[in-house]
């Protein structure tokens, strides 16, 4: 019972942090670089959760975060785009976490790139056009860069907090 409520409290806290970061991102005026450009900072939380808790918890938090932030700041199109991106990036980052020889930075960079790639695919399906595919190379690189940035931040986040399953007392 105590286990369960502790898990609930920890996951809610992580979700709250992720939502706060989502809100800050939606306020940051970064759209001049590319329409809809975002740093994907909430990926930090997902990555930490993935490493400290596991795949199910990370996916749960990510989907909950996307649904809530779409309700608060987004629309239907942005919801579908971020859902596809979020699910695929969480999946890929989960598999990469199993690999040795990868630190947070590499995992996060790969996650950012696949996030953008999945969004392009979703946009292609929904808008029924092939022309957005031309953006893919730029978005891959941008996703890699923002992912690297988030990876560095996740490294510090992990170092200075103990959101760990094993650190519970």
Partner 1 sequence: MKKGDFLVFLIIAVLSVALFLATFFKDDGKSLLVSVDNKPYKTFSLDEDGKHEIKTKKGINILIIENGTAHFENSDCPDKTCEKMGKISNVGESIVCLPHKVLAEVVE
Contacting residues toward partner 1, per CB under 8 A:
99-103, 105-107, 109-110, 113, 130-131, 133-134, 136-138, 140-141, 143-144, 148
| Shortest CB 141 distance to partner 1, Å | 5
Of 19 and 93, which has the nearer Cβ to partner 1? 93
Give, in degrees to the nearest 5, the angle at Cα 138 between 134 and 141.
145
CA–CA separation, 111 and 97 (whole Å): 11
CA–CA separation, 86 and 80 (whole Å): 10
Of 17 and 114, which has the nearer Cβ to partner 1? 114
CA–CA separation, 43 and 76 (whole Å): 21
Tokens coding 34 = 């590319």
| Shortest CB 70 distance to partner 1, Å | 27
Of 85 and 144, which has the nearer Cβ to partner 1? 144
Whole-number Cα distances in Å, 89 to 9, 109, 118, 161: 25, 10, 8, 23
Of 63 and 158, which has the nearer Cβ to partner 1? 158
| Shortest CB 60 distance to partner 1, Å | 26
| Shortest CB 156 distance to partner 1, Å | 14
Of 64 and 135, which has the nearer Cβ to partner 1? 135
Give, in degrees to the nearest 5, the angle at Cα 52 between 98 and 160.
120
| Shortest CB 105 distance to partner 1, Å | 5
């Amino acid at each position: 019972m105590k286990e369960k409520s502790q898990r609930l409290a920890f996951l809610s806290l992580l979700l709250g942090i992720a939502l706060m970061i989502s809100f800050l991102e939606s306020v940051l005026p970064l759209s001049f670089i590319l329409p809809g450009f975002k740093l994907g900072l909430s990926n930090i939380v997902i990555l930490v959760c993935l490493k400290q808790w596991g795949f199910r918890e990370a996916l749960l938090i990510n989907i909950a975060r996307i649904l809530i932030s779409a309700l608060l700041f987004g629309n239907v199109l942005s919801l579908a785009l971020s859902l596809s991106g979020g699910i695929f990036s969480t999946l890929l980052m989960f598999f990469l976490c199993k690999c040795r020889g990868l630190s947070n930075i590499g995992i996060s960079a790969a996650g950012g790139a696949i996030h953008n790639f999945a969004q392009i695919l979703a946009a292609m399906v929904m808008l029924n056009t092939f022309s957005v595919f031309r953006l893919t190379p730029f978005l891959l690189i941008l996703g890699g860069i923002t992912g690297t940035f988030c990876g560095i931040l996740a490294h510090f986040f992990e170092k200075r907090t103990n959101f760990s399953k094993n650190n519970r007392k």
